[in-house]
Amino acid sequence: MAKPRLEPTPEFYQFGLGFHQDLDVRGKTEDEIWAIVLDPFTGQDRIRLREFLDRITRDDVSDAELLRLWNATPTDDWFSDGGLRIILKRARNRLLQPRSRPSWRGHDRSGRRRG
């Protein structure tokens, strides 16, 4: 019997949205970039994203399936087959750490403070 097809969770969709064309302009270091992408996730959203990333980065999920899931998000970034798995594992590992600074929820996508 075939495995059920994985679908992106709302948290994964939002995670993909964090990878936009100006990400490397807003974040100067790897830590800053990860903070921009991951700090908006708090509480149960953070846990659900981490659990989904853990599930999809296991060896039984093919690189092609990972790319299909990634391409179902509104991301601006493209990764090679193996590169995507590495990035997703790094994100999962970072989600195990406490948030690095206040959430970006008070900022627009360019990093400017709202209101």
pLDDT tens profile 34-64: 999 999 999 999 999 999 999 999 989 999 9
Question: Minimum mean pLDDT among 56-65, 80-89, 92-101: which range?
Answer: 92-101
CA distances from 31 to 28, 55, 63 (A): 8, 24, 26
Residues 6+ apart with CB under 8 A from 111: 26, 36, 104
**pLDDT greater at residue 88 or residue 97:** 88
Compute the distance between CA of residue 16 and CA of residue 41 in angstroms, rounded to an integer: 12
Q: Can you give the residue ranges of every domain in the chain?
A: 10-97
Residues 6+ apart with CB under 8 A from 55: 6, 61
Please check the confidence at residue 115 and state whether its pLDDT lies above 50. no
**Helix/strand/coil for 51:** helix
Compute the distance between CA of residue 102 and CA of residue 113 in angstroms, rounded to an integer: 12
- Picking from 29, 6, 42, 34, the residue whose alpha carbon sits closest to that of residue 18 is 34
Rounded to an integer, the average pLDDT of 86-113 is: 71
Compute the distance between CA of residue 75 and CA of residue 88 in angstroms, rounded to an integer: 13
